[in-house]
Amino acid sequence: MSIQPPSAFFDLSALLTGFTVQTLEFAQQSADFFGVFDEIYGSGHMAKLLSVYDAHVQAGDAPNDIGKAILDAGSPVEDTARALMAFWYLGQVAPLNDPENLQIPSGNHYAQALVWRAVQAHPTGVSTQQFGYWANPPAPLNDYL
């Protein structure tokens, strides 16, 4: 059983990815993005990133300003934020000190990656649709967020 992520994890992830908290919670339900990120990227970095985020929230900063501040924060907070965004979008992550060693931890991480929603499609190899769906235009982007 994976550890229940703090709500700040979803709030920050929503800020960084542009997807709703609900969509991210749904993805986390099927693939442990929170715990596995720590395992692969290196433990402690997520906690540090979340504490920086919490400090901005406590200070009453506007969400867009928080996002900008974090992505301009420099190493290691900025790097962690960018690796987290890539993990959410692509389902793949590398250890901080071994960036070539990209890993897709499970089929569910691949399938829940946000890139599929962003391109309004299903993951290659995991279709939830019916015969012939491809003959019609995809649903509007808003339906995927």
Interface residue list for other proteins (CB under 8 A): 92, 102-107, 109-111, 122-127, 129-137
Q: Which is nearer to other proteins, 96 or 106 (CB)?
A: 106
Q: Which is nearer to other proteins, 56 or 122 (CB)?
A: 122
- Rounded to a whole number of angstroms, the minimum distance from the CB of residue 7 to other proteins is 29
Give me the DSSP letters along the chain: -PPPPPHHHHHHHHHHH---HHHHHHHHHHS-HHHHHHHHH-TTHHHHHHHHHHHHHHTT--HHHHHHHHHTS-TTHHHHHHHHHHHHHHS-B--TT-TT--B---HHHHHH-HHHHHTTSPPTT---S-TTGGGSPPPPGGGG-
Q: Which is nearer to other proteins, 97 or 130 (CB)?
A: 130
- Rounded to a whole number of angstroms, the minimum distance from the CB of residue 95 to other proteins is 14
- Rounded to a whole number of angstroms, the minimum distance from the CB of residue 21 to other proteins is 26
